Amino acid sequence: MSLIVQKYGGTSVGSIERIRNVADRIALKRREGDALVVVLSAMSGETDRLIKMARKMTADPDQREMDMLLSTGERVTIALLAMALQSLGCKAQSFTGRQVGILTDNMHTRARIEEIQAGRLKEALSEGIVPVVAGFQGINQKSDVTTLGRGGSDTTAVALAAALKADLCEIYTDVDGVYTTDPNIVPTARRISKISYEEMLEMASLGAKVLQTRSVEFAMKYRVPVLVRSSFNDGPGTLVTQEDAEMEQEIVSGITYNKDQAKVTLVGVPDRPGVASKIFGAISKEEMNVDMIIQNVGQAGLTDLSFTLPKEDARRAKEILLKLDAEIGIKNIAINEKISKVSLVGVGMRSHSGVAAKMFSCLSAEGINIMMISTSEIKISCVIESKYTELAVRTLHDSFGLGESQPPKSEQVTR
């Protein structure tokens, strides 16, 4: 008998009918003899509905109150699914994040799980009950409700799988698995059948939206095998697991893009020790995440400095830098929001050279200028003008031979 943690996303539980379908699937699996823990998101659209209500009330709602508000959505779906399972004769019970002992830090609306006290969950399992757990939420030391940020239910599922030493964590979503790139841009994009934690982590952080980054970190740390699959069909999905020889044969596993960042450029910054530290110290103090940084060699003791960060933080960053200006002197501060980051990811890069060179020449052949570059052992990212994103992704996908020979779903019918 295996122990499997299953997570169903918002679209999978988006209506009474769909919740009933999920119940059928679980009851079937349960009859096969496996022990199951189910983690649910709120109905699709519900979290946005609640956020809209809060924004109508006040422009800048308190984070603790946001968590009180947002944590209600999952409680509705878990109660309804537990009812549906019971009506199928399957023993089930709903549990909140608190009830399954998910303890987090105090960062409301983006809390991190610190500990799981799974006693009650184990007890339910030992009684043959299918625990149906509210994803996305926990409590802090004060016993206040916290939420884990967008996609937090993935993290709940993987963290529970780790705490219970489950055999598998299945993430049911509205796509068939992890693709070599966004199939909306590249119709020949291929489902990846197996991918390493490291690659998945890069892809999640770089913009692939299938799994929350934090959930992949958890899976990697505790070696939880994660299977991403669709709740609307029986496809095999994508297994996220430890790296193996097979994976290394592919040079590039996937291509991601991210249009959510902005580039801030400081022109004429004094080129002396301590200046960069002052600049990024002030920015990180405000908890803004700087991604890439480039410093050009300058003239006459001055240098230019560029960095990227989430678009929503760009204006605030500029204000902070303007305050610093008096102290360090900056000639000009420019924000460019029309940028995009395109990245290649693959563990094969470790053993293959020339990947970066090939990427640059592909982009240049299409006349795409590269504004910033950043590399790690298993990824290369280029910042380019936003309008070239789709073109860049398509040409790279082609050049690195990632596509299928035929588009997976042709809409043309031959008579």
**Which residues would be at the binding site for a copy of itself (CB under 8 A)?**
16, 19-20, 50, 53-54, 56-58, 61-62, 64-66, 68-69, 71-72, 75-76, 78-80, 82-84, 86-87, 93-94, 96, 98-99, 143-145
Residue 185 main-chain phi, psi, to 5 deg: -95, -40
Q: Which residues pair with 258 in a beta bridge?
A: 341
**Nearest approach, Cβ of residue 97 and a copy of itself (Å):** 13
CB 264 within 8 A of CB 289: no
**Nearest approach, Cβ of residue 93 and a copy of itself (Å):** 7
**Cα–Cα distance between 368 and 185 in angstroms, integer?**
17
**Cα–Cα distance between 400 and 253 in angstroms, integer?**
9
Residue 135 or 177: which CB sits closer to a copy of itself? 135
Residue 78 or 396: which CB sits closer to a copy of itself? 78
**Nearest approach, Cβ of residue 315 and a copy of itself (Å):** 22
Residue 75 or 209: which CB sits closer to a copy of itself? 75
Q: Which helix (H) or strand (E) holds 367?
A: none
Any idea which residue has 């939880």 for tokens?
A: 224
Residue 5 or 145: which CB sits closer to a copy of itself? 145
**Nearest approach, Cβ of residue 312 and a copy of itself (Å):** 20
Q: Which helix (H) or strand (E) holds 236?
A: none
Residue 25 or 358: which CB sits closer to a copy of itself? 25
Residue 76 or 107: which CB sits closer to a copy of itself? 76
**Nearest approach, Cβ of residue 411 and a copy of itself (Å):** 36
**Nearest approach, Cβ of residue 356 and a copy of itself (Å):** 49
Full strand arrangement of the beta sheet holding 145-147: 113-116, 102-104, 137-139, 145-147
CB 304 within 8 A of CB 296: yes
- What is each CA distance from 329 to 267, 270, 271, in whole angstroms? 10, 7, 11
Of the candidates 167, 164, 82, the residue with the CA atom closest to the CA atom of residue 118 = 164
Residue 80 or 255: which CB sits closer to a copy of itself? 80
**Nearest approach, Cβ of residue 120 and a copy of itself (Å):** 8
**Cα–Cα distance between 332 and 302 in angstroms, integer?**
12
Residues in CB range of 81: below 8 A, 6 or more apart:
13, 19, 22, 23, 38, 40, 92, 94, 132
Residue 86 or 375: which CB sits closer to a copy of itself? 86
**Nearest approach, Cβ of residue 103 and a copy of itself (Å):** 14
Of the candidates 156, 119, 150, the residue with the CA atom closest to the CA atom of residue 135 = 156
**Nearest approach, Cβ of residue 104 and a copy of itself (Å):** 16
Residue 79 or 168: which CB sits closer to a copy of itself? 79
What is 159-216 written as a DSSP string?
HHHHHTT-SEEEEEESSSS-BSS-TTT-TT--B-SEEEHHHHHHHHHHT--SS-HHHH
As given in the structure block, the two tokens for residue 379 are 């990824």
